[in-house]
A and B are shown apart, each in its own frame.
Chain A
Amino acid sequence: MALPQMTTEEDPKPVMQPIAVTAIAREPGAVVQMPGDGGISAIRRHLTERGSGAVADRIFMGLMLACALSIFAIVLFILTVLVIRSKLSLAQFGFGFFVSSAWDPVSGDFGALPFIFGTLMTSFLALAMAVPLALGVAIFLSELCPERLRAPISFVTELLAAIPSVVYGLWAFFVLVPIMRDQLGPWLYKYFGWTKLFDGYNFGVGLLTASIILAIMILPIISSITRDIMLAVPTSQREAVLALGATRWEMVRTGVLRNARIGIVGAVILGLGRALGETMAVTMVIGNHAEIAKSLFAPGNTLASVIATEFSEATGDLYLSSLVEIGLALFIVTVVVNAIARGLVWAVTRGTPSRAH
């Protein structure tokens, strides 16, 4: 009888061998024959016949592997169903879908350009507001913060990263929009009106309001990942720079930021990915109007929010298919953006213990 293979090919460590040895040691009357000698001892045979668990092990590992592979399956599944369901609009409009600014459900003419514009505009404005602040917070948390403050502050940031989008939307709808309409908006127009960015009627809802709530929402995630990356920079780097007589800022700049820059870029791109796909809060304050406006006060729409507002009311196959195609574009863009960001973050934090965010 052939010995069942004790170790799987993937696992080079022979986990079963110590068992045989202990068994032999426990039963002194048995013929002691070490595994690998060629023969099979009585004990070894007994253990084999009793069932070593190797079969069960294989089944178990297969099950776990199947579940792990289901993550690939999910990605493929999403991609496939989206492509199949958007076939109609893919065939009808082709690539022109993404450069056409028509959005006319009545005559059946669809183009995603206004939404692409809205998504990019709000995301980049949000990044422009959030990144400097997030960097400041990360520097404070990783380099300057007294030990006692560190835990509560990072707890608050974690908590805020977990608050649902719709709750931020609720807050923005009832607090941010009136502030924007009555205080911040007129102030911006008064002092920065010459830039022509703040022309037009200020409803309180619009691209700028959406960008502000987006910035608030992506701040916690960018700052906490940046902090983790900066903490991953070895202390010896800091000490080396300090030993040369650098001030603390010089230490941070040359010792920490320069080493962590790739990871920080990754964190920013992760924030971008979050901003691109953010749905509910943006939907509630952006005004939902498909146009490419020059003014930041003008209502707009994003890829995600047009799906959120129009999908359940869309009639007609082409309309639905166009919305699915927008979803497909959103999926592909966020996958690419996240893959780049994760790659960069991993390149920096590899080797340091990871934490759940």
Chain B
Amino acid sequence: MSANPLYTPPPVRGEGPLHAPLNMNSKWIRLNRARRHAVNHGVTFLAILSTVLVIAPLVAILVYLLYMGASSLNLAFFTKIPAPVGMPGGGMANAIVGSGIILAVASAMGIPVGIAAGVYLAEFGRGKLLAGTVRFTADVLNGVPSIVMGIAAWVVLVDRRGFSALAGSVALAIMMVPMIARTTEEMLATVPHAIREAALGLGVPKWRTVLSVSLKTASPGIITGCMLAFARVAGETAPLLFTALGNQFWSFKLNQPIAALPLQIYVYAISPYDEWHRLAWAGSLVLIVMIMVAVTLVRIYAARGVMKGAS
């Protein structure tokens, strides 16, 4: 009986005919109604409470990170390389540049392939089993821990040749492909069919239609999707631990170990020096701001749809 909250036991009806109006004020019904409303209010309260319990600490974490980062950030962070242990000052200039190099190479490999895969899924593969499988695989691959990509890159590129920036880039590129493929597909799916048909109707070949109509229309969304993927992999530490390895000095070579921002944050965070902790907070702030910008832009484009975003 208690299994179904909508079931109300039949009230005592006296001698009247079966279709006599229910006595809505009978004790049974009133009690049951009171119980149901109490449960309703209780659950509503619990839902609000859990939201507060979740949102408040999360916002607190965010504010704390922003505060600690902002109070630790200074110009030297962007212009100096790490100071030797025990010396004050120093910055993460080499790590920022190193991250930039790793990410540029990773993007050069990952973004074109990711966008092309997304184009296939959205423009050629609609409703096909193959496209469905690719989509599914991309989603599954998105959930694979990044450290596994790091091991794969290590086996192929580091095991015999030594630590290199290139290996880090490959690991990150592998992560970017499925992410970008999925956002590109979703953004292309918001392009109205009418404008594709208009192009095809004018005798434009399909490939031109895809490039100059679909992709161009969806480009703000796709660009921000790429930015989001970029920001996500920019914060990845695990795959770089044993590929790019890190470096205390300037390095611009792809076949040498190179410094990277998240790696440096990790190393400095677990170090025993206060000065290094400060740099770790500052580095986190830089990463978070980058991610905030990307997430905000993606949200704006996803909310207003690509048509309004297109010029």
Q: A317-345 vs B: 1/0 string, CB under 8 Å?
A: 00000011001001100110111011100
Contact: A330 with B147, CB < 8 Å? yes
Contact: A249 with B124, CB < 8 Å? no
Interface residues of B in 194-251 (CB under 8 A from A): 200-208, 210, 225, 228, 231-232, 234-238, 241-242, 245
Q: Which of B11-19, B39-47, B73-81, B88-96 contacts A (4 or more CB under 8 A)?
A: B39-47
Contact: B269 with A71, CB < 8 Å? no
Q: When the two chains form the complex, which single residue of B43, B57, B154, B235 contacts A311, counting CB atoms closer than 8 Å?
A: B154
Contact: A274 with B143, CB < 8 Å? yes
- A159 cross-chain contacts in B, Cβ below 8 A: 62, 291-292, 295
Per DSSP, chain A at the interface is helix
Contact: A334 with B143, CB < 8 Å? yes
Asked whether any CB of chain A lies closer than 8 Å to the CB of B97, the reply is no
Q: Which of A53-61, A88-96, A99-107, A194-202 contacts B (4 or more CB under 8 A)?
A: A53-61
Asked whether any CB of chain B lies closer than 8 Å to the CB of A188, the reply is no
CB distance from A307 to the nearest CB of B (A): 6
* Residue among B44, B156, B183, B206 with most chain A CB within 10 A: B206
State how many residues of chain A have any CB contact under 8 Å with chain B: 111
Contact: A324 with B291, CB < 8 Å? no
- B144 cross-chain contacts in A, Cβ below 8 A: 78, 277, 331, 334-335, 338
Contact: A279 with B128, CB < 8 Å? no
Q: When the two chains form the complex, which single residue of A22, A56, A78, A155 contacts B205, counting CB atoms closer than 8 Å?
A: A56
Given that A15-B200, A216-B57 are contacting pairs, would A170 and B269 also be in contact in the complex, using a CB cutoff of 8 Å?
A: yes
Asked whether any CB of chain A lies closer than 8 Å to the CB of B152, the reply is yes
* Residue among A53, A216, A245 with most chain B CB within 10 A: A53
Interface residues of B in 109-137 (CB under 8 A from A): 112-114, 116-117, 119-121, 123-125, 128, 130-131, 133-134, 136-137
Q: B136-152 vs A: 1/0 string, CB under 8 Å?
A: 11111111111111011
Asked whether any CB of chain A lies closer than 8 Å to the CB of B288, the reply is yes
CB distance from B305 to the nearest CB of A (A): 11
Given that A60-B207, A64-B116 are contacting pairs, would A167 and B151 also be in contact in the complex, using a CB cutoff of 8 Å?
A: no
Contact: B120 with A64, CB < 8 Å? yes
Asked whether any CB of chain B lies closer than 8 Å to the CB of A192, the reply is no
Asked whether any CB of chain B lies closer than 8 Å to the CB of A108, the reply is no
Contact: A247 with B36, CB < 8 Å? yes
Asked whether any CB of chain B lies closer than 8 Å to the CB of A3, the reply is no
Asked whether any CB of chain A lies closer than 8 Å to the CB of B280, the reply is yes
- Nearest neighbor of B139 in chain A, beta-carbon distance: A342
Cα A23 to Cα B238 in complex, Å, equals 59
Cα A54 to Cα B206 in complex, Å, equals 8
Q: When the two chains form the complex, which single residue of A15, A75, A133, A278 contacts B53, counting CB atoms closer than 8 Å?
A: A133
- Nearest neighbor of A142 in chain B, beta-carbon distance: B47
Contact: B238 with A167, CB < 8 Å? no
* Interface residue ranges, B against A (CB under 8 Å): 5-6, 36-37, 39-40, 42-44, 46-51, 53-55, 57-59, 61-62, 64-65, 112-114, 116-117, 119-121, 123-125, 128, 130-131, 133-134, 136-149, 151-152, 154-156, 159, 174, 177-178, 181-183, 186, 189, 200-208, 210, 225, 228, 231-232, 234-238, 241-242, 245, 262, 265-266, 269-270, 277, 280-281, 284, 287-288, 291-292, 294-296, 298-299, 302
11 contacts between A and B (CB under 8 A): A53-B206, A64-B123, A68-B134, A69-B134, A81-B152, A85-B151, A139-B43, A170-B280, A216-B58, A241-B6, A327-B151
* Interface residue ranges, A against B (CB under 8 Å): 10-11, 15, 18-19, 22-23, 52-54, 56-57, 59-61, 63-72, 74-75, 77-78, 81-82, 84-85, 132-137, 139-141, 143-144, 153, 155-160, 162-171, 173-175, 216, 219-220, 223, 241, 244-250, 252-254, 270, 273-274, 276-280, 284, 304, 307-308, 311-312, 323-324, 327, 330-331, 334-335, 337-339, 341-343, 346, 353-356
